[in-house]
Amino acid sequence: MVELVTILTFALAALASLFMAWAIGAGSSGSTPFAPAVGANAISVMRAGFLVGLLGFLGAVLQGANVSEAVGTELIDGVVLSPVAATLGLTIAAVLVAIGVFAGYPIATAFTVTGSVIGVGLAMGGDPAWAKYQEIGALWILTPFVGGGSAYAIARILREELFSERVLIVGLAALVGVIVANIEFAVLGSNGGASIAVAAARELPGSLLVGIVAITALLATLWGLVFWFDTRADVERGERHFLLVLGGLVAFSAGGSQVGLAIGPLIPLSGDLEIPLLALLVGGGFGLLLGSWTGAPRMIKAIAQDYSSLGPRRSIAALIPSFAIAQVAVFYGIPVSFNEIIVSSIIGSGYAASTGGGVSARKMGYTVLAWVGSLAGSVVLSYTGYLLVSWLLL
């Protein structure tokens, strides 16, 4: 029989996790996916907040396992987070993110949560997980260059119009179809899920690799055909539809990545209570949904209007690399900041314009400082906070 104290400590940690999920939904996962679409006047702020909440919930349930397990078990070696450590780390991270939400600056959630978990883990006597830190650091460092560079290149191609705009949109839609065919879903296959291409190829005779390529090509063609017909009568209308689809895909990916930042520290605590991971994912997804519906509109407005004055083309250019990078993070189980992904892409696509795209250098400077400060501050606060609490409990 599970002791009452175990249930109470888990309940306290779960409340901190729910607060963290709300803060994430109101901040990075709730505000960033549809920000370019709002900036391009393709959807209203309130509708964007409503849709991103629903799609983020689905992403959390269907794709949240990898990052959740990484945050909960792979950031510190040698120790398992205690209920006190998990509660303290989640609370400190959530407070920092919430401060960013109400101050109007996008605090990098992945930085704060990762730093908080590392801080309390080190204070417990754990060892740094250097191999995982190398993976995380590589993605965090490469994201601004890959995301911003890709967005800049796509925006320049669309702006130069080397081909007809309709052909370019269809080609980009086919590229997105390739990515969609190869992202993993928990409901497909077994042992952690499988992609649409892999699951379908397993049902086909012959080589698995040939089947994957064939299914991928088929889905890419179907995506291209959908937007070929959609842009036949009105290219601008087709662009807006494509932009909304991209926003939805990024919102789904945000849920799959960001929910792990909220529920990951709960995983070591759920074993004694025999709580399945799916239940944690549903609870975390619900927290994201609440945050998106109640707090995201403020940040959507801040990102859409303060960082860059985007049109539909540059918005499309920003969302495609954002979707791709997010899915790479989900696949490898790496906690990543959606603020970093989307803001870098917005800046890259904004600079494709001859005027610099309305990018605010001052705003970006404050944002970078907030990112660095959130990582360093969360480590220090969590480390010292755990030592203080441990001393008081003695």
Of 270-284, 295-309, 377-391, the range with the highest mean pLDDT is: 377-391
d(CA 319, CA 33): 8
Count of the separate structural domains present in the chain: 1
Structural domain that includes position 86: 4-160+255-321+337-393
Does residue 327 belong to any structural domain of this protein? no
Residues in the chain: 394
Distance CA 219, CA 205 (A): 19
Per-residue pLDDT, averaged over 57-75, amounts to: 90
Instruction: Assess if residue 265 is contained within a domain.
Output: yes
Please say if the pLDDT value at position 369 is more than 70: yes
Band of residue 211 on the pLDDT scale cut at 50, 70, 90: very high
Taking residues 278-298, report their average pLDDT. Answer: 85
Confidence of residue 45 (pLDDT cuts 50, 70, 90): confident
Residue 178 belongs to a domain: no
Q: Which residue has the higher pLDDT, 180 or 266?
A: 180
What percentage of the chain has pLDDT greater than the value 70?
86
Confidence label for 106 from pLDDT (cuts 50, 70 and 90) = low
What's the pLDDT band for 307 if we cut at 50, 70, 90?
very low
pLDDT of 162 reads 73
214: pLDDT strictly greater than 90: yes
Predicted pLDDT at 192: 63
Mean pLDDT of the chain: 83
Q: Is residue 275 part of a domain?
A: yes
| Structure-derived torsion over alpha carbons of residues 90, 369, 134, 26, reported in degrees to the nearest 10 | 40
For 185-195, how does the pLDDT look when each residue is reduced to its tens digit (9 = 90+)? 887 866 667 88
Number of helices (H), then strands (E), in the chain: 17, 4
Say which range, 124-138, 143-157, 279-293, 303-317, has the weakest mean pLDDT.
Answer: 303-317
Quote the pLDDT of residue 43.
78
What's the confidence (pLDDT) of residue 310?
65
Contact predicate 13/265, CB 8 Å? yes
- What's the rounded Cα separation, in Å, for the pair 74 and 217? 36
Cα first-last separation, the chain: 26
Report pLDDT digits (tens) over 224-279: 999 999 888 888 888 888 988 998 998 899 899 889 888 988 887 776 677 888 88
What's the Cα-to-Cα distance from 1 to each of 5, 7, 272, 273, rounded to whole Å? 12, 11, 10, 9
The predicted pLDDT at position 358 comes to 53
**What pLDDT does residue 52 have?**
86
Q: Give domain status of residue 220, yes or no.
A: no
Q: Decide if 319 contacts 91 (C-beta within 8 A).
A: no
pLDDT (tens digit, 9 = 90+) per residue, 19-44?
888 878 876 666 677 776 777 677 77
Kindly state the average pLDDT of the residues 378-390. 90
Task: Please give the pLDDT value at position 228.
Answer: 92
Look at residue 317 and tell me if it is in a domain: yes
CB contact at 8 A, 84 and 389: yes
State the pLDDT at residue 353: 66
Question: What is the rounded distance in angstroms from the CA atom of residue 385 to the CA atom of residue 346?
Answer: 36
Query: Which residues neighbour 132 within 8 Å (Cβ) at sequence distance 6 or greater?
Result: 70, 74, 75
pLDDT at residue 81 above 80?
Answer: yes
Q: Are 337 and 110 in contact (CB under 8 A)?
A: yes
User: Does some domain include residue 328?
Assistant: no
User: Confidence band (pLDDT; 50, 70, 90) for 118?
Assistant: very high
Q: Is residue 24 part of a domain?
A: yes
